[in-house]
Every structure is written in structure tokens, then in C-alpha cells.
Amino acid sequence: MSTEAFEKSGARPRGLWWDAATALVALVGLTDAAYLTVEHMTGRSVRCMIVSGCDEVLQSSYATLAAGIPVAAVGALAYFAVFSLATLAAFGYGGARRLLAPLVAVMFLATLWFFYLQAFRIHAFCAYCLLSAAVTTTLTLLVFARRLTDSEKRLS
Amino acid sequence: MSSNPEGAKRYAPFVIIGVVLAVVVVGIALMSRPNNANTSTQQPTQNTLLSSTSAPQRTPTAGAPNPHARGGEKAAVTLEEFSDFQCPACGGLDPGLRSISRDYGERVRWVFRNFPLSMHKYAFIAARAAEAAGAQGKFWEMHDLLYDNQKDWVDAPEPRDLFASYAARLGLDVQRFRADLDRQDLADRIKADYERGISLNVRGTPTIFINGRELMPGKLPSEQDIRREIDAALSPAGK
């Protein structure tokens, strides 16, 4: 992050609470995705459990990318990126904020895809994956609602 | 405002991000450990993966009478498997169990217990197919076919016809086989096995008990894990 991007306004950065909320919600997603990554890697969910859903989803072919990388790990990285960008934005790094919207948009599209896979391909829902979907949806709403209020302020 | 807000604020987010990254990395490392720690420290002197705490809360029920078993009737080691025909993990472990059964022969008795999970829509009918084949003396042959062809029938709109084709391949009386798929006493055997699993605190499949003790509770044992335990049980010290 270049120091030019740092807002030296001295005043409280605009939209601090939006950024802080985004960072906190991303932290929930990060915890969730990290848990799923561990479940995937340790193979605990590879067994079929009485109380289930996640093992069906995590042991499906859709849970792993071509190079054997768990999808959950990519999710954890994405949440970490959102958390980092939102934290930087909260402290006035304007450039970080600009990267948030495209990143969250991609994550939201991925979430729609995962929801489709669970509903129509795997025929099982994993509660932790649904939590992740809720987190990404919340992030999308936060980031885009914030952009909307920003542009309204600029117009007025 | 402090005298140098820019300086402090410039580094603060990186510190926060660094702390969160460290917490996540340490958290993942800790979460990945407990199972290994449990299995390796429960009985360090015996170098075994068997649970020392798997003594069931309730008195275990007997399960289906005359369970389907491969190997020696009076083998020194009894391997009791709780399995679901539709569970991919069971399908993955099955070739290993067959290879173990071949290698150890009469020294190991492999008992199969049905543990069809409700989340698998064909698990119960598949278990009925195995029992129906068992009624004609070909339980294990059907068991092998069901696992070998798991990928074919789990996606079938109606697996009964496929199961009947397996029965035909095994030379069974297919008409009788089809009728036996609905036999209540065979369904009761499956339920009895399931009840035994519940009474032994089985929570998922495959779950392996070796001489009555659960192997690596909560974790999926590999063929090598099972071989190691059998060897330990067969060695003089393990008896």
C-alpha cells in the first residue's frame, strides 16, 4: 500500500464504521473458512456422520480445486484479504477501499455458485458453508450500501 | 489528536492484520493437532491407536444374530466394522479391508455391521440388498459388488433394478432377491446392527472396533492403521 493512498486529513476517516463493520464480519468468515479448511485437511469430515451435511459437501469433488487445494482454504484467504483491506481502509488507506468492491463481488458470485452446487449437485447443505454464504452476502451489502451512501453524499 | 497521529495510524492496521494472521495460523495448527494427540497419547506404552475410553455409556446391544463375518470363526482378532454402503469413505476403505482379510486369513474375523445413515437415501435399500443376497448365501459377494459399483447406483433414479442386475450376476434367484428386498426380518437385522452401533457410541462410518475397542475414535483409519492394530493384537504382548 503506497503512502500516497494514506489519507492525511487528520479528521476521522470517512466511513470508519462501515470499514470496521466490514472487517469484523470478514473476521467471522475467516474463522468459519479456517475451521472448514482444518476439517477438510484433517479428514475428520471425510467420514460420514449421523449429524451431517458438511461431510457430504466437503468430501464432494467440488470441495477441492484442480491442484488439490481445498475451496475452504481459498475462502479463508479471501476473507483474510477482505479483513486486511477493510482494516487498512478504516485507518485511512483509500486505495484499499477501492479494491474491496471487486473482491467482494467475486466472492458473492462464488457464493451463489456454491449454493447452487449444494442445492442441485451435492444435494446436501453444510451449515458452515451456509454461514459463509451469509457472511459474504452481508459483506456484499455492507460494501455496496457504503458505496451508495458515499455517492449520494458526493451528489448532495 | 496525538502529536504524531499519521505515524501511529500508519502502522496500526498492519499490526492488527499481523496479529489476526498469527492467531489464525496458531488456531489452525492447534485445531489440526488434537486428534493426533489423543490417539498417540492415550496409551503411549502400548503404541496403539485404540481408544482407552471407548467403553460405552450403555450396555451394548447384540446386533443382528449370526452377523456376516469373514475369516476364522475363532480368530484371535475380531474386526467389527460399522459401515454404510452409500458412504464414500466406507467405499474407500473397503478394498483395504478386503486385502487385510485376504492377508490375515483365519487369524482375523471381520464382522460387518450395517450402519445406514439417514442422510444417504439409498443406504438402507442397499443394506437390504446385501441382506437379501445374504439370504441366498451371498452376502459378501453382494457387499463387494455394492462397494465396487457405488458410484453407479448412488446416482441411479431407482437402484433396485441395478441391485437385481448384481443379483443376477451373482447367480442368485432374482425373483426371490427382489421379494427379499422388502422382507421385514431382514430389515430388522439392519436395525439391530444400527442399534448396536448407537449403543457403542458410533457416530459415523466407517467405524472400526478391534477386539471390542474403537480404533481412532472420530477419525478415519487407514488400511495401514488397521494393520498396525491387528499386528499389535496378534503379537504376544497385545494378547
Asked if A48 and B35 come within 8 Å (Cβ–Cβ), the reply is: no
- Cell 421385514 sits on residue: B184
Q: How many domains does chain A have?
A: 1
Q: Which grid coordinates belong to B53?
A: 475410553
Which residues touch B104 (CB under 8 Å, ≥6 apart)? B71, B77, B230
**Residue A94 falls within a domain, yes or no?**
yes
Tell me the C-alpha distance between B6 and B3, whole Å: 9
Which of A3, A48, A58, A61 has the highest number of chain B CBs within 10 A, making it the mutation to test binding with B? A48
**Residue A5 falls within a domain, yes or no?**
no
Q: Which tens digit of pLDDT belongs to each residue from B13-41?
A: 999 999 999 999 998 888 776 443 333 33
Q: Could you give the residue ranges of the DSSP H alpha helices within B66-122?
A: 88-104
pLDDT higher than threshold 50 for residue B222? yes
Phi, psi angle pair for B110, to nearest 5°: -100, 110
pLDDT at B57: 54
pLDDT band at B6 (very low <50, low <70, confident <90, very high): low
pLDDT at A84: 96
Q: Write down the pTM of the prediction.
A: 0.62
Q: Which grid coordinates belong to A50?
A: 449421523
Asked if B119 and A3 come within 8 Å (Cβ–Cβ), the reply is: no
The enclosing domain of A83 has a CATH number of 1.20.1440.130
Q: Which tens digit of pLDDT belongs to each residue from A49-75?
A: 876 667 778 777 888 887 778 899 999
Q: Which tens digit of pLDDT belongs to each residue from B55-80?
A: 445 688 999 999 999 998 889 999 99
Asked if B203 and A50 come within 8 Å (Cβ–Cβ), the reply is: yes
Which of the pair, A52 or B5, is modelled with greater confidence? A52
**Residue A64 falls within a domain, yes or no?**
yes
Asked if B88 and A59 come within 8 Å (Cβ–Cβ), the reply is: yes
Residues of the domain holding A49: 15-155
pLDDT at A53: 65
Nearest to B129 by CA among B80, B76, B72, B172: B172
Mean pLDDT value of segment A22-51:
84
Tell me the C-alpha distance between A26 and B171, whole Å: 59
Mean pLDDT of the residues in chain B: 86
Highest-confidence segment of A118-122, B107-111, B199-203 = B107-111
Tell me the C-alpha distance between A106 and A102, whole Å: 6
Q: Which tens digit of pLDDT belongs to each residue from A84-115?
A: 999 999 888 888 888 999 999 999 999 999 99
**Residue A88 falls within a domain, yes or no?**
yes
* Helix or strand run (H / E) with residue B210: strand B207-210
Residue B176 forms contact with A (CB below 8 Å): no
pLDDT at B238: 52
Residue A43 forms contact with B (CB below 8 Å): yes
Instruction: Give Cα A23 distance to the centre of its chain.
Output: 10
DSSP codes joined into one string, B113-162: EE---TTSTTHHHHHHHHHHHHTTT-HHHHHHHHHHTHHHHTT-S-HHHH
Q: Which tens digit of pLDDT belongs to each residue from B168-192?
A: 999 999 999 999 999 999 999 999 9
Residue A106 forms contact with B (CB below 8 Å): no
**Residue A36 falls within a domain, yes or no?**
yes
Phi, psi angle pair for A57, to nearest 5°: -75, -45
Which of the pair, A69 or A5, is modelled with greater confidence? A69
Which residues touch B91 (CB under 8 Å, ≥6 apart)? B85, B147, B150
pLDDT at B33: 67
